[in-house]
């Protein structure tokens, strides 16, 4: 009798194992490998206060208003009463952007980010970030007044807002990142209605002799971890033979 009970228990245990293990395996297959997960650091996005005052200097105030007007009536609809802590725009991502968007760029520069600030639009519905870039080299330049050692300002829509409650809300475009302060980059830049203001199309960070794409886009990521020398050679070849 004891043998029969033991044998029955073994059969039950085996059946339970066959039922449970496939379930666990199926669950594991749905979890992406660690190497495939996208690391995202919101601290790269410049921060501004919702209640920040306008500049006192009239010239600076006029310049800020001119820049901020482009981002008025934003569909981000910055709001202190927003329930979530982040808003991600997905409808303005160009997944087919070339690795070297030469045709979309008015300037291609190599430079270091020396300052990064976020600002609200004039009507406080939109947010944009402005980066000061100290130029090391000009690969393509529309302006002969630009030279190594000089600085330019480059914008990208998005950033973080600290509301009066103390809560911080992140606004970003899917797959698009922000340059990090102190980083050295190759930046592809375009201009809008205000030809004096550059906007970032995309870019690549140059660090420790290798390349790291700024944005998480299919064609851009082809150059992940490529040597800086090979990357710049390929870029210059593309420019000379578009």
> Sorting pLDDT into bands at 50, 70 and 90, what band is 84?
confident
Please write the tens of the pLDDT for every residue from 214-237.
Answer: 999 999 999 999 999 999 999 999
Please write the tens of the pLDDT for every residue from 182-198.
Answer: 999 999 999 865 556 79
Most confident listed range (5-19, 37-51, 73-87, 116-130): 116-130
Instruction: Tell me the two tokens of residue 130.
Output: 């402005």
Model pLDDT, residue 131: 97
d(CA 100, CA 87): 28
Model pLDDT, residue 195: 59
Model pLDDT, residue 56: 85
Q: What average pLDDT does the chain have?
A: 83
Please write the tens of the pLDDT for every residue from 139-187.
Answer: 998 776 788 999 999 999 999 999 999 999 999 999 999 999 999 999 9
Return the closest-CA partner of residue 42 out of 76, 92, 74, 87.
87
Percent of the chain with pLDDT over 70: 81
HEC sequence for the chain: CHHHHHHHHHHHHHHHHHHHHHHHHHHHHCCCCHHHCCCCCHHHCCEEECCCCCCCCHHHHHHHHHHHHHHCCCCCCCCCCCCCCEEEECCCCCCCCCCCCCCCCCEEEEEEEEEEEEEECCCCCCEEEEEEEEEEEEEECCCCCCCCCCEEEEEEECEEEECCCCCEEEEEECCCCCCCCCCEEEEEEEECCCCCCEEEEEEEEEECCEEEECCCCCCHHHHCCCEHHHHHHHHHHHHHCC
> Sorting pLDDT into bands at 50, 70 and 90, what band is 201?
very high
> Sorting pLDDT into bands at 50, 70 and 90, what band is 210?
very high
Cβ-contact 218, 232 below 8 angstroms: no
Cβ contacts of residue 55 below 8 Å, gap of 6+?
61, 64
Model pLDDT, residue 39: 59
> Sorting pLDDT into bands at 50, 70 and 90, what band is 13?
very low
> Sorting pLDDT into bands at 50, 70 and 90, what band is 48?
very high
Most confident listed range (1-5, 18-22, 171-175): 171-175
Percent of the chain with pLDDT over 90: 61
For the segment 37-57, the average pLDDT, to the nearest whole number, is 84
Task: Read off the pTM.
Answer: 0.81
Model pLDDT, residue 61: 85
Domain positions in the chain are 1-31, 41-240
Is the domain 41-240 a CATH 3.40.50.300 member?
no
């Amino acid at each position: 009798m004891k043998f029969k009970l033991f044998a029955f228990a073994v059969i039950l245990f085996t059946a339970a194992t066959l039922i449970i293990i496939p379930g666990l395996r199926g669950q594991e297959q749905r979890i992406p490998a660690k190497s495939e997960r996208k690391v995202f650091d919101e601290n790269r996005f410049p921060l501004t206060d919702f209640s920040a005052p306008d500049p006192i200097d009239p010239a600076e105030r006029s310049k800020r208003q001119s820049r901020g007007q482009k981002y008025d009536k934003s569909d981000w609809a910055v709001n202190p009463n927003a329930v979530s802590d982040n808003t991600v725009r997905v409808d303005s991502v160009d997944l087919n952007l070339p690795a070297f968007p030469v045709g979309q760029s008015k300037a291609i520069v190599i430079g270091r980010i020396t300052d990064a600030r976020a600002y609200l639009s004039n009507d406080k519905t939109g947010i944009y970030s402005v980066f000061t870039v100290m130029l090391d080299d000009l690969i393509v330049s529309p302006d002969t007044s630009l030279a190594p050692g000089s600085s330019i300002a480059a914008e990208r829509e998005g950033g973080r807002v600290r509301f009066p409650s103390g809560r911080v809300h992140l606004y970003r475009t899917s797959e698009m990142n922000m340059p990090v302060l102190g980083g050295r980059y190759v930046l592809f830049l375009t201009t809008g209605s205000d030809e004096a203001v550059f906007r970032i199309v995309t870019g690549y960070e140059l660090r420790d002799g290798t390349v790291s794409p700024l944005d998480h886009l299919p064609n851009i990521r082809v150059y992940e971890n490529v040597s800086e020398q090979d990357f710049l050679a390929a870029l210059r070849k593309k420019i000379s033979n578009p």
